[in-house]
Amino acid sequence: MSDGLLVVISAPSGCGKDTLVAGAMKKMPGECFLSVSMTTRNMRPGETQGVEYIFVSRDEFLKNIEEGNMLEYAVYGSNMYGTPIAPVKKKLSEGKTVFLIIEVEGGGNVKKIFPEATKIFIVPPSMEELESRLRGRKTDSEEAIMNRLCIARQELQRAEEYDYIVENDNLDDAIDDILAIVRAQKLSINKMKNKVKEVIYNA
Residues that bind a second copy (CB under 8 A): 121, 123-128, 153, 156-157, 159-160, 162-167, 176-177, 179-181, 183-185, 187-189, 192-193, 195-196, 198-200, 202-203
| Min CB(181)–a second copy separation in Å | 5
Nearer to a second copy, 49 or 126 (CB): 126
In three-state secondary structure terms, 123 is strand
Nearer to a second copy, 58 or 193 (CB): 193
**Chain mean position to CA 118:** 10
| Min CB(34)–a second copy separation in Å | 21
| Residue 25 near residue 98 (C-beta atoms within 8 A) | no
| Residue 7 near residue 120 (C-beta atoms within 8 A) | yes
- 95: CB partners within 8 A, 6+ apart: 3, 4
- 12: CB partners within 8 A, 6+ apart: 123, 124, 130, 148, 151, 152, 155, 156
| Min CB(77)–a second copy separation in Å | 27
Nearer to a second copy, 139 or 190 (CB): 190
Nearer to a second copy, 51 or 200 (CB): 200
Q: What's the N-to-C CA distance of the chain in angstroms?
A: 25
| Min CB(133)–a second copy separation in Å | 13
Nearer to a second copy, 135 or 183 (CB): 183
| Min CB(158)–a second copy separation in Å | 10
Q: Name the nearest CA neighbour of 33 among 109, 104, 103, 84.
A: 84
